[in-house]
């Protein structure tokens, strides 16, 4: 398994860890942003981190049938983890603002599902996936992500297995520190288009 230092080195080398003033998908503001798409665009680097996360998943979850990832950020990570662990992998897409299964993807009744994300901050996307799993009368056995930046404040009430846990502060728009107020805010991420 990769150490935290080795993982952070890869994130920085691939420009996946950015500094500035960012408005996250959750609406919170942050001085750092993790752009996992940059990491995943470099397969040789991404493979190292995904192999390490796969080891952690194997150590934590004994049995699951399917990996479910939210679009957009989780698709490539979910696929890579599924390839490594030899598990079927599907993803959700937003239809009228709500996650749905398309492309003839199916969750079978009583299947055990692992939700795999790129980054978890509040856990909103993962919990939307979890609701979809429940709607199909299946079971969420847990959550995994490349980066857990929730600082223990996510809405997820189960354990999150992460390759890297980052303690990056977040702020509401009405309580920004001066260091962020002076920088132009950028809205990265797939839901901010």
Q: How much is the pTM?
A: 0.83
Are 126 and 110 spatial neighbours (Cβ–Cβ below 8 Å)?
A: no
Domain that holds residue 158: 4-192
- Contact (CB, 8 A) for 129 and 166: no
CATH number at residue 92: 3.40.50.2020
Total structural domains within the chain: 1
pLDDT in tens, 131-184: 999 999 999 999 999 999 887 777 787 889 999 999 888 899 999 999 999 999
């Amino acid at each position: 398994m990769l150490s935290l230092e080795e993982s952070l080195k890869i994130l920085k080398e691939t420009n996946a860890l950015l500094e500035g003033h960012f408005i996250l998908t959750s609406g919170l503001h942050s001085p750092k942003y993790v752009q996992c798409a940059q990491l995943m665009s470099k397969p040789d680097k991404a493979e190292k981190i995904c192999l390490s996360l796969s080891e952690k998943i194997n150590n934590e979850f004994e049995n699951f049938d399917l990996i479910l990832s939210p679009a957009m950020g989780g698709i490539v990570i979910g696929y890579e983890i599924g390839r490594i662990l030899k598990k079927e992998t599907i993803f959700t897409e937003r239809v009228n603002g709500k996650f749905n299964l398309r492309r003839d993807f199916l969750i079978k009744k009583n299947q055990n599902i692992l939700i795999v994300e790129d980054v978890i901050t509040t856990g909103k996307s993962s919990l939307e996936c979890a609701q979809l799993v429940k709607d199909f009368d299946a079971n969420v056995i847990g959550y995994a992500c490349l980066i857990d930046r929730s600082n223990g404040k996510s809405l997820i009430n189960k354990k999150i297995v992460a390759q890297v846990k980052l303690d990056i502060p977040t702020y509401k728009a009405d309580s920004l520190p001066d260091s962020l107020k002076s920088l132009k805010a950028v809205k990265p991420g797939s839901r901010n288009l």
